[in-house]
Amino acid sequence: MSDIKATTAGAVNGADASSRYFVREHHPEQGTLLGFWIYLMSDCLIFACLFATYAVLGRNYAGGPSGAEIFDLPLVALNTGFLLFSSITYGFAMLSAQKKNLGKTQLWLAITGVLGACFLYLELYEFSHLIHEGFGPWRSGFLTAFFALVGTHGLHVTFGIVWLITLMFQLGKHGINGANYRRLTCLSMFWHFLDVVWIGVFTYVYLIGVLP
């Protein structure tokens, strides 16, 4: 009798422990995604400040070049294409990860990284070209605001690529488990967020910049 009681009590305890385990397992996961979202929102405010700076200084040429003279729109369109394509390839990586297909996830992540690197290469090419012409951030208020805004975005993309490569090593080592999927989701939010910021950059800085 006492044996049975003990077993029942043990079973109940076991159930309690496992339900507590599930609760504990569930909440931090939500917490991470929400916390990361709040980080992205604070990052959004940094970009808001940089956009506001550009809005104020964007036409202060100080006798230097205007946007219409230095912006190469076909190059910007190509760059926008790279970033947009990298967004959907990251989406494909997430879909592959949901199906637990590690090989395909890694492949799509690699393609995303290469597209991100192409974007960075073109941006650095544009920067070095401008600086070579003598139109560096010191030349005018417009160029200071331009380099600060576009440079900050480029720095985010750089760190995104570093994160992406790190994650590919982690996936290679541990496969698609709960923790790695959570990391993939966070990087997904980060990557898509950078594309959202780029919409603002190409519209407000480049397209409106070349308008008289």
- Check residue 200 for interaction with other proteins (CB under 8 A): yes
Query: Which of the 8 DSSP states describes residue 136?
Result: S
The encoded tokens of residue 13 equal 């305890």
Stretch that binds other proteins, among 81-89, 112-120, 138-146, 159-167 (CB under 8 A): 81-89
Using only C-alpha atoms, the chain has a radius of gyration, in whole angstroms, of 24
How many angstroms separate the CA atoms of 62 and 80, rounded? 29
Note whether 56 binds other proteins by CB under 8 A: yes
Interface with other proteins in residues 177-196 (CB under 8 A): 177-178, 181, 185, 188-189, 192-193, 195-196
- 82-111 residues labelled b (16+ CB within 10 A) or e (exposed): bbebbbebbebbbebbeeeeeeebbebbeb
Tell whether residue 44 is a contact of other proteins (CB under 8 A): yes
Total residues contacting other proteins by CB under 8 A comes to: 59
In the list 11, 77, 155, 162, the residue contacting other proteins (rule: CB under 8 A) is 77
Q: Is 72 helix (H, G, I), strand (E, B) or coil?
A: coil
Identified binder of other proteins from the candidate list 61, 72, 75, 94, rule CB under 8 A: 94
Q: Which of 22, 63, 132, 169 touches other proteins by CB under 8 A?
A: 22
Helices (H), 58-72: 67-70
Rounded distance between C-alpha atoms, residue 192 and residue 4, angstroms = 57
**Residue from 118, 122, 148, 210 in contact with other proteins (CB under 8 A):** 210
136 phi and psi angles, rounded to 5 deg:
-80, 180
Contact between residue 160 and residue 191 where contact means Cβ atoms under 8 Å apart = yes
Q: Can you tell me which of 64, 72, 92, 168 binds other proteins, judged by CB under 8 A?
A: 92
Min dist. Cβ of residue 74 to other proteins (A): 8
Q: Which residues contact 143 (CB under 8 A, 6 or more apart)?
A: 64, 65, 130, 135, 136, 137
146-165 positions binding other proteins, by CB under 8 A: none
Binding mask 105-144 for other proteins (x = CB under 8 A): ----------------------------------------
Question: Backbone phi, then psi, for 211, in 5-degree steps?
Answer: -75, 145
Q: Rule CB under 8 A: which residues touch other proteins?
A: 22, 25-26, 29-30, 33-34, 37-38, 41, 44-45, 48-49, 51-53, 55-56, 73, 77, 80, 84, 87-88, 91-92, 94-95, 97-98, 100-103, 172, 174-178, 181, 185, 188-189, 192-193, 195-196, 199-200, 202-204, 207-208, 210-212
